[in-house]
A and B are shown apart, each in its own frame.
Chain A
Amino acid sequence: MTTRLTADQYDILKELINIGVGRAAGMLNAMLDTHVHLQVPELFTLTREQLETELNTFGGDTISVVRLTYSGGFSGATSLIFPPTSAAKLVSILTGEEHAVDDDDLDALRIGTLTEVGNIVINGVMGSIANVLKQRLHYSLPTYIDDTIKALIALNRFKEDATIVMARAHFRVEAWQIDGSIVLWFEVGSLDALLDAIDELNRDVL
């Protein structure tokens, strides 16, 4: 059973992610000469099955993922997901490589680059969330995975009733339109803790 978000919770969570993504875009722009624009147009909660259906709309059997897991009082994983061609294209644009635009394969160096981009975006989002939670978490190192959608979902070992928050973002790097999604997945109870914190924040603001 998925946790339903109230309109306020939805708005605040969306805003938190938006702030995090905005900060990440600022960092990328500062780091690179290219102007990277990140936006969060959509936010929705999904079951595991719905996530699989959603990821299948990326248009390929495999996907590229930069994944950060965390544990402690609050557990889960945040992933930045790209269709492989978008991942390769993003790296090519960021590094100014000429040849790789039509090339799906990522070598060790380009995997490192994509991991850093994912790291910046995920850290931006997690920074926002951590601010609200006011708890220190134990984070894993960010990792890059290139696998089938099924294998990726299996990797997360979702519980039957896990709630997954998915934010579908669009990266726009100058003339290039690149699709990517930020998927937040929380252990049982963790989302509730987050929503409680959000509610508290909401009350404080009000």
Chain B
Amino acid sequence: MQFQEHERVFTVLDDVPLGFFALNKDYEIIFWNRQMEYWTGIPREDVLHTPIGDRFAHLTRPRYTTRLAGVFEGGPPVVFSSQLHHHIIPVPHKADTLRVQHTTVTPVTIPGSELCHALFSIQDVTEVTQRVKDYSHMRNQALAEVQERKKTEQRLRESETELRALFAAMPELILLVDREIVVRRLINAGEFVNWLRTDQLVGKSVHDLLPADLVSEVKSAVERAFAEDETIDVEYMAHLRRGDFWVKASFSPVDDDNVICVVRNISEDRLAQQRTTQLAIEREKSELVGDFIQAASHDFRTSLSVMNTNLYLLERSKDDEKRAERRVKLKEQVNHLEELVDSLLTIYRWDTTTYTLKPGRFQVQGMLNNLQISLTDRANDKGITLKFVPTDVELPIHADEVELTRALRSLVENALHFTQEGSITVFARTEGHALHLVVEDTGIGIHDDEHTNIFKLFYKVDKARTHQLGGLGLGLSIAERIIKAHQGRIDVSSTPGEGSRFSIVLPAALDTSVTG
């Protein structure tokens, strides 16, 4: 179908990049521009003077016709927006989508004709729509993110408030400290606000806050906390405005550069700990004193009982020989009681602070000779060989001769007590400046787990009570006290059933100021 002559006026719209078509009052297509041909693929010749309803039936429905009616009367233009009418003429855009259109319909009167036609002008707003939708989507997403961030911030503010309230109730000083141990932030002043200017801590270095001897300890704690990614504690005495406090500082890494430092006042803990320890010591002492009195009483009673019996027999006996024998027995018990009292007094002296050593210079050999003289008879009585090896220690030693002799005697007497046969060897040797006084026996020996106990008061390995000399269980205790007072120690090595070896080690006893 061709244009009627008067309709040819529309062809000026062929070159405009918008879709144009015109309808007459009967809804027949009287113009179809090139853009419409391109969009729909329908040639103008095929649609001219055909009803629009044949191809696009929706345009003949009241939704459109009621609005278009005025246009055919020369009324105002009509707008079909893209949001309310996506497609006036549905034309494909991409595979599954149609072009989005904004359409304006204006009345057009052709010169020389009274008839009014409706000219549809279709603008392709597909791209704009997509951009607006993308923008809208992005904006909505951004708004949602902002909303979410606000909520998160609110939650953070709430939890920060809670944390602050929690911190406010905590007595600990909490600091954020960097690798250089400079205070970066004060998180909580705690009770320390009473003792130091916590508000002036930020920016201060460990060097400003602690004495030099503690700086290296704290530094190494922080280094360890970073290296091991663990909380490291340091306890130290802090000298604060109102006195000295024991504090415990815990360093926990929070990131690669900072640690949280929590400082707690542990003075009361320490005091409580000390009290507990003190109480334990007191309790042990009290138990020891109880044991001591029990053991001592038993020994006193035994001796007194023996003396009583012998006195009775001495009074009744007419036989001079037997009376002499009783007197010897009585003398033995008196000696034993003397020894016992002497030992108890020695222990008392060592356990109080009143006792001080009376050091002097003497030769080891002299001490060994005296001991040999006083102990050989007892060894012989028991049938044991007591051997004092002549010493090659030529230097004199500097010590309290009486007490050192007492200590060595205790070791030999202990050996005599626990050796039933065989021998006891006593010798001295040097090792650098140290003097070793060694007592070896072939006695019953001591189990490893008894090595510490044997130095306790009244401790007896075999639990047997005896009133023989040394049987009190005080000898080794006394010896240990004496040697400790000389800054020395007693080493024990033993094989049960084969014998023991006690070594008094005096690291600085040799008097090197004397030559020859």
* B76-122 at interface with A (beta carbon < 8 Å): 76-84, 102, 104, 106-107
> What is the bound-complex CA distance between A142 and B70, given in angstroms?
15
Of B59-67, B151-159, B218-226, the one with at least 4 CB within 8 A of chain A: B59-67
Inter-subunit contact B77/A142 (CB<8 Å): yes
Inter-subunit contact A110/B125 (CB<8 Å): no
State whether A139 and B77 are in contact (beta carbons under 8 Å apart), knowing that A27-B67, A109-B125 are contacts in the complex.
Answer: yes
Inter-subunit contact A99/B136 (CB<8 Å): yes
> What is the bound-complex CA distance between A108 and B127, given in angstroms?
12
Inter-subunit contact B84/A139 (CB<8 Å): no
Of A43-51, A123-131, A167-175, A176-184, the one with at least 4 CB within 8 A of chain B: A123-131
* A68-122 at interface with B (beta carbon < 8 Å): 68, 70, 91, 94-95, 99, 107-110, 112-113, 115-116, 119-120, 122
* B445-472 at interface with A (beta carbon < 8 Å): none
Interface of B is mostly: mixed
Q: Which residues of chain B are within 8 angstroms of A30 by Cβ–Cβ distance?
A: 62-63, 66
> What is the bound-complex CA distance between A140 and B512, given in angstroms?
127
> What is the bound-complex CA distance between A94 and B81, given in angstroms?
12
Inter-subunit contact B78/A123 (CB<8 Å): yes
Task: Name the one of B76, B84, B125, B136 contacting A70, with C-beta atoms under 8 angstroms.
Answer: B76
A136 at the interface (CB under 8 A from B): yes
Task: Name the one of B76, B102, B125 contacting A126, with C-beta atoms under 8 angstroms.
Answer: B76
Inter-subunit contact A127/B84 (CB<8 Å): no
Residue of B nearest to A107 (CB): B132
Q: Which residues of chain B are within 8 angstroms of A154 by Cβ–Cβ distance?
A: none
Q: Which residues of chain A are within 8 angstroms of B39 by Cβ–Cβ distance?
A: none
Inter-subunit contact A142/B76 (CB<8 Å): yes
User: B375 CB to closest chain A CB, in angstroms?
Assistant: 109
Inter-subunit contact A127/B75 (CB<8 Å): yes
Q: Which residues of chain A are within 8 angstroms of B78 by Cβ–Cβ distance?
A: 119, 123
State whether A68 and B76 are in contact (beta carbons under 8 Å apart), knowing that A107-B136, A108-B128 are contacts in the complex.
Answer: yes
Range class of the B interface residue count? 20 to 34
Inter-subunit contact B83/A113 (CB<8 Å): yes
* B32-79 at interface with A (beta carbon < 8 Å): 62-63, 66-67, 70, 73-79
User: B98 CB to closest chain A CB, in angstroms?
Assistant: 16
Inter-subunit contact B79/A109 (CB<8 Å): no
User: B83 CB to closest chain A CB, in angstroms?
Assistant: 4
A205 at the interface (CB under 8 A from B): no
> What is the bound-complex CA distance between A137 and B82, given in angstroms?
27
Which residue of A30, A31, A112, A119 has the most chain B CB atoms within 10 A of its CB atom? A112
Task: Name the one of A99, A116, A136, A142 contacting B84, with C-beta atoms under 8 angstroms.
Answer: A116
State whether A112 and B70 are in contact (beta carbons under 8 Å apart), knowing that A107-B135, A122-B76, A139-B76 are contacts in the complex.
Answer: no
> What is the bound-complex CA distance between A27 and B70, given in angstroms?
13
B140 at the interface (CB under 8 A from A): yes
> What is the bound-complex CA distance between A44 and B132, given in angstroms?
40
Inter-subunit contact B81/A113 (CB<8 Å): yes
User: A40 CB to closest chain B CB, in angstroms?
Assistant: 19
Q: Which residues of chain A are within 8 angstroms of B70 by Cβ–Cβ distance?
A: 123, 127
State whether A99 and B75 are in contact (beta carbons under 8 Å apart), knowing that A109-B129, A141-B106 are contacts in the complex.
Answer: no
Residue of A nearest to B76 (CB): A139
Task: Name the one of A91, A107, A109, A130 contacting B75, with C-beta atoms under 8 angstroms.
Answer: A130
Q: Which residues of chain B are within 8 angstroms of A99 by Cβ–Cβ distance?
A: 136, 140, 143
Residue of A nearest to B69 (CB): A127
* A142-158 at interface with B (beta carbon < 8 Å): 142
Task: Name the one of B63, B77, B136, B143 contacting A31, with C-beta atoms under 8 angstroms.
Answer: B63
Inter-subunit contact A32/B84 (CB<8 Å): yes
Q: Which residues of chain B are within 8 angstroms of A115 by Cβ–Cβ distance?
A: 79, 81
> What is the bound-complex CA distance between A141 and B67, given in angstroms?
15
> What is the bound-complex CA distance between A91 and B132, given in angstroms?
15
Which residue of B63, B75, B80 has the most chain A CB atoms within 10 A of its CB atom? B75
State whether A116 and B128 are in contact (beta carbons under 8 Å apart), knowing that A122-B76, A126-B76, A139-B75 are contacts in the complex.
Answer: no
State whether A113 and B62 are in contact (beta carbons under 8 Å apart), knowing that A108-B125, A108-B128, A123-B76 are contacts in the complex.
Answer: no
Q: Which residues of chain A are within 8 angstroms of B73 by Cβ–Cβ distance?
A: 130
A-B contact pairs, 30 of them (CB 8 A): A26-B66, A30-B66, A31-B84, A91-B83, A94-B83, A95-B84, A99-B140, A99-B143, A109-B82, A112-B81, A112-B82, A113-B82, A113-B83, A113-B84, A115-B79, A115-B81, A116-B84, A119-B76, A119-B77, A119-B78, A119-B79, A120-B67, A122-B76, A126-B75, A126-B76, A127-B70, A130-B75, A136-B74, A140-B77, A141-B106
Q: Give B contacts to A, CB under 8 Å.
A: 62-63, 66-67, 70, 73-84, 102, 104, 106-107, 125, 128-129, 132, 135-136, 140, 143
7 A-B pairs besides A112-B102, A116-B79, A137-B74 with CB distance below 8 A are: A30-B63, A109-B81, A109-B132, A112-B79, A119-B76, A139-B107, A140-B77
The 10 closest A-B pairs by CB, nearest first: A112-B81, A116-B81, A119-B79, A139-B76, A113-B83, A136-B74, A116-B79, A113-B81, A123-B76, A95-B83
